Amino acid sequence: MTEAAAPPPRPLWRRLLGFNLLTAVLLGIGGWYLGWFGAHAIGAESLEYFEDTDYNELSVYLAYLGGVIGFLVGLGFLNYPIARLRGYPPSLREKETHGWTRYFSLCTDHKVVGIQYLWGIGLFFFIGGLNAMLIRTEQLSPHSQSFPMGTYLTLVGMHGTMMMGMMTSGILGPFANYLVPIMIGARRMAFPRIEALTFWLLMAAGAILTTTIFFGGFPTGWTGYAPLQTQANPGMDNYILFFALVGVSMTLLGLNMIATILTMRAPGLTWTRLPIFVWGVLSTAVLMVLAAPVLIAVLSMGALDRTAQTSFFNAAAGGSSYLYQNLFWVFGHPEVYILALPGFAIVLELLPVFARKPLWGYRLAVAGLLGVSLLSWFVWQHHLFVSGMNGDLRPFYMLSTELISIPTGFTFLCGMMTLWRGRISFTVPMLFCLAWFFNFLIGGLSGVFLSDTPSDVTTHGSFFSMAHFHYTIMGGLVFTFFAAIYYWVPKMTGWELHEGLAKIHFWTMFIFFNSTFAPLLAAGFLGQARRAPVYTGNLKFLNDWVSISAFLLGISMLIFLFNLVWSLAFVKQPAEANPWGSRSIEFQLPSPVPVHNFDRIPVFSNDPYGYGEGPAPSYVVPAGAPAGRE
Amino acid sequence: MASEPSAATSPSDSTNHGLRVVVVWLVLSAIATPLVAIYVGPLIPPGNATVQGQGQTFDNQVMTAFVTPILCLLAVFFAYGLIQFHVRRNEAILDGPPIRNDSQIQLLWIVITTVMVLFLAGFGTYELLQDGSGGGQGPNPIALPAHHQDAFQVQVIAQQWQFTYRYPSLGGLESNQLYLPANTTVALHVTSLDAIHSFWAYELGVKADANPGVDNVAYVETKGPTTFHVRCAELCGLWHPYMFNNGRVVDSAQFQAWASQQQRVYASIKPFMNKPESEGGAPYAKTYFPEPDRRAG
């Protein structure tokens, strides 16, 4: 820690007062009840389909909006605007706080936000994973036995929504927030308060989704198709609010990333010297900024259908269920690449370090990332091949979907050729990256069947498509998420993770992941429909096998959790500054990185992949260079 | 930077590793692809119960054979590469050769993947346009089977949580049993009364989403008598998992017997149902209101 000495500690009760998470939660609950009783006071009637109850859609919306506003006020998001209105000069005082309390309050240090994201997203990742365990418990029997039907559908919906919503920021949240400013030689993000806002909005959203169980859950799965959405019970409003808030968070996160990468690169960091991870973040951020507003729009329409009785999606009154499907997938298909692209970038970023070779075909890799980003806008109706919408456009969407495999193939080629003739060491991050090739290959090749319209007639809506996207998203995103954790967390926290436990975690996760999802490809082909706890008896063996594998996969996650807690809370083995021999700039800084990152803004003269090309760059700042802005 | 490896490169290596990988891959693919086509191919669903199902099965067989060499390439590459190029135990970690690019490999890769993608898209389009492949095509189908003008019409009405089948040619008979005549081209007009459903007749190779207010047409050409499963393939609410039943393809004598039996059973409610087209009724009622809908305003 090179930062200035901390001020003398205050008594605990004094520290609990002020703008922090505790205040935020209390004000959030207060705001929630204000909204709840406010909505009842203005006489909003229940729109419940069958009977009148003591709650109604409007009160749910207003309650949660009040709660979110109270939560943000309690964290201190209004302090700065009010101070500016009262004429005080701009400052970033939130960044200068010390100690563990800064992790529980509004902090504009991008490194604190990154670590907040890591734990916050990790929490919801485990809740989502727990839902998956319960789903597999139900699937142990071909009949519905473990849960009531509505509970089962809520579990399915919460698992999907939690993973698709929270994990969109799974890599951009923790790792891009932490690393992008360092990698581009900056001391902060372009908009530090917005950066903090994206995190706390996401946490508020997560709380909203989790509390859907108090309002009866929702029956629609993560897609929330109307008109089922319109007739669902008030738990559906939690889904709508959750995803809309996630959309706001995503848009702001993406804008912040784009602004930072475009405007705050250090001298000498040209576009061809940018680490490939930053390129991946940029291409993902563009998708986020353009896709998430569509989601917010379509959910707003859904909310209006539910509260104000508009008829956007009600066919009986002139609306169309196609409208929802169209708008949702205009967001939804870029969304899956928002999940996958950071994974590509992490694989390409890590392979050179552990193959001790420069990244092969840098420009082709960038073209691959940007190509996927662009093409992902032209494929969304492949989710609707059998819907009867635009039947004559199916050949076009078949072609555009299959075209995406060309830029995806660039990533494969660059990764494989980087390994070729390298000096490969099987460290834990490298193992996760190599597993990515296997998983994404299976995901991609099963996608060939889904992209083909005749074949999609059988596989659409079956466990085949479900296994396919788990191979691409869990195999593509979550494996690289763990690669990033094992690679960067020692740098971020300053403490090492236990390598033996990490290897056990990898092998159990890799084996049981495949043992879970490969049989599901077969189950889908044999006719098992998604999201249904009822299946034909001939599929019982496959499903039992899958359930047991899934439980073992869950245990593998517990091994990881144990390793994390054990290494970071008890052992606390200090990490070296550069344990991997990496040439990237973040590993030339001490662990953990000091508050202001650099004493002076570095000057870049090369990309970070010059393995075998002479001594490592020192990022020396020449005398007389500008010290850089705060 | 104590742990920074020296910039030495690995000892020069004159073995042509690339040639080895290509040769092993070609041999392996030449063996594996026919084996997959012969032994795995026939197991691939949805089977040969209908022309459309047969088409999908053929499609799946071609694609399974198609992806086999790709799997083989990656398998050989990684098996060889990781064994050949990994750092041995107790060996110093040196830097590898600083190869940054090879434009010929890039060009070759781009050309090959483009050709493969164009083949896939062309093949899929050709197969689709043959007979519609059993998929829902909306109200104005473009991929039509040979005898689509004389198709036997059945309307599939999905609702929470069951399917009703309406036969305009049987005087507007509505039944919860799906019987289809053998060796006939059938046009299934799928619609929904409430949420989005999806009509999935697995063995027939038919899947068509049911959207309220939409007439989603799927063609299927039946072959010999058979039975098949029908289930809803789009999450449609609480009892979606139990929204399934069985259907039968039967020869024409059995079909007539079934039709007259059903007409007797439902004779008493016929006056309350939609008139058939021949008596001046609309051919397909796309929506109706089961009860006054407060949401409909």
Taking only the tens place, the pLDDT of each residue in A478-498 is 999 999 999 999 999 989 999
- B129, B176: one domain: no
- Does residue B6 surpass a pLDDT of 50? no
**A417 touching chain B per CB within 8 A:** yes
Predicted local distance difference test score (pLDDT) of residue B20: 92
Check B98 against A458: CB less than 8 A apart. no
- B61, B179: one domain: no
The answer to whether A296 and A248 have CB atoms below 8 angstroms apart is yes
- Choose the closest CB to B3 out of A403, A455, A581: A581
More confident site: A405 or A9: A405
More confident site: B253 or A14: B253
Predicted local distance difference test score (pLDDT) of residue B283: 59
* Residue at B258 is within a domain: yes
- B226, B284: one domain: yes
Q: Give the range among A31-35, A37-41, A166-170, B131-135 with minimum mean pLDDT.
A: A37-41
Residue B275 belongs to a domain with what CATH number? 2.60.40.420
- Choose the closest CB to A388 out of B133, B138, B235: B138
Predicted local distance difference test score (pLDDT) of residue B7: 45
User: For A41-49, what is the mean pLDDT?
Assistant: 58
- B204, B282: one domain: yes
Check A387 against B211: CB less than 8 A apart. yes
Output phi, psi for A171, to 5 deg: -110, -40
- B129, B155: one domain: no
Q: Are strands B206-210 and B197-201 parallel, antiparallel or unpaired?
A: antiparallel
- B179, B260: one domain: yes
**A537 touching chain B per CB within 8 A:** no
- B124, B196: one domain: no
Over residues B280-289, the pLDDT tens digits come to 666 555 544 4
Q: How far is B34 from chain A (nearest CA, A)?
A: 18
More confident site: B277 or B232: B232
The structural domain count of chain B equals 2
Over residues A173-203, the pLDDT tens digits come to 999 999 999 999 998 999 999 999 999 999 9
- B128, B155: one domain: no
Check A458 against B143: CB less than 8 A apart. no
The answer to whether A171 and A484 have CB atoms below 8 angstroms apart is yes
Cβ contacts (< 8 Å) between A527 and chain B: which residues?
45-46, 202, 229, 231
**B92 touching chain A per CB within 8 A:** no
User: For A602-614, what is the mean pLDDT?
Assistant: 86
Query: Which of the four pLDDT bands, split at 50, 70 and 90, describes residue A605?
Result: confident
Predicted local distance difference test score (pLDDT) of residue A360: 93
- B184, B70: one domain: no
Query: Which of the four pLDDT bands, split at 50, 70 and 90, describes residue B296?
Result: very low
Cβ contacts (< 8 Å) between A588 and chain B: which residues?
1
Over residues A228-270, the pLDDT tens digits come to 998 888 899 999 999 999 999 999 999 999 999 999 999 989 9
Where exactly are the structural domains of chain A? 110-588
Cβ contacts (< 8 Å) between B137 and chain A: which residues?
388, 391
**A543 touching chain B per CB within 8 A:** no
Q: How many CB pairs under 8 A join A and B?
A: 321
Check B98 against A358: CB less than 8 A apart. yes
Cβ contacts (< 8 Å) between B15 and chain A: which residues?
none
- Choose the closest CB to B98 out of A321, A357, A462: A357
User: For A118-127, what is the mean pLDDT?
Assistant: 94
Over residues A321-371, the pLDDT tens digits come to 999 999 999 999 999 999 999 999 999 999 999 999 999 999 999 999 999
Q: How far is B188 from chain A (nearest CA, A)?
A: 12
> Mind giving me the DSSP string for chain B?
-TTPPPSPBPPP----HHHHHHHHHHHHHHHHHHHIIIIIGGG-TT-SSBHHHHHHHHHHHHHHHHHHHHHHHHHHHHHHHHHHHBPPTT----B-------HHHHHHHHHHHHHHHHHHHHHHHHHHHHHGGGB---SS--S--TTGGGPEEEEEEEETTEEEEEEGGGTSEEESSEEEETT-EEEEEEEESSS-EEEEETTTTEEEEE-BT--EEEEEEB-S-EEEEEEE-S--STTGGG-EEEEEEE-HHHHHHHHHHHHHHTGGGGGGSPPPGGGT--S------SS--GGG-
Q: Output the CATH code of domain A110-588.
A: 1.20.210.10
Query: Which of the four pLDDT bands, split at 50, 70 and 90, describes residue A606?
Result: confident
* Residue at B129 is within a domain: yes
**A627 touching chain B per CB within 8 A:** no
- B127, B32: one domain: yes
Q: Which of A273, A4, A91, A186 is nearest to A600 (CA)?
A: A186
Predicted local distance difference test score (pLDDT) of residue A49: 46
Q: How far is A211 from chain B (nearest CA, A)?
A: 20
* Residue at B7 is within a domain: no
ipTM metric: 0.89
Q: Give the range among A9-18, A162-171, B192-201 with minimum mean pLDDT.
A: A9-18
Over residues B35-79, the pLDDT tens digits come to 998 888 878 888 889 999 999 999 999 999 999 999 999 999 999
Tell me what the pLDDT averaged over chain B comes to. 85
Over residues A86-104, the pLDDT tens digits come to 988 877 666 666 777 888 8
- Choose the closest CB to B124 out of A398, A409, A530: A398
Distance (Å, whole) CA A269 – CA A283: 18
Check A357 against B217: CB less than 8 A apart. no
User: For A520-531, what is the mean pLDDT?
Assistant: 92
Cβ contacts (< 8 Å) between A391 and chain B: which residues?
136-138, 140-143
- B184, B271: one domain: yes
- Does residue A625 surpass a pLDDT of 60? no
Tokens in use for A483?
Answer: 């690669």
Check A611 against B55: CB less than 8 A apart. no
Interface of B with A in 129-188 (CB under 8 A): 129, 133-143
Cβ contacts (< 8 Å) between A395 and chain B: which residues?
121, 124-125, 128-129
Q: How far is A597 from chain B (nearest CA, A)?
A: 18
- Does residue A451 surpass a pLDDT of 90? yes
Query: Which of the four pLDDT bands, split at 50, 70 and 90, describes residue A376?
Result: very high
* Residue at B5 is within a domain: no
- Choose the closest CB to A454 out of B9, B56, B136: B56
Output phi, psi for A218, to 5 deg: -140, 145
Check A402 against B236: CB less than 8 A apart. no
Distance (Å, whole) CA A342 – CA A472: 12
User: For B214-237, what is the mean pLDDT?
Assistant: 93
* Residue at B2 is within a domain: no
- B203, B277: one domain: yes
* Residue at B9 is within a domain: no
B30 lies in which domain range? 17-87+104-134
More confident site: A144 or B247: B247
What pTM value is reported for the model?
0.92
Predicted local distance difference test score (pLDDT) of residue A617: 66
Predicted local distance difference test score (pLDDT) of residue A416: 95
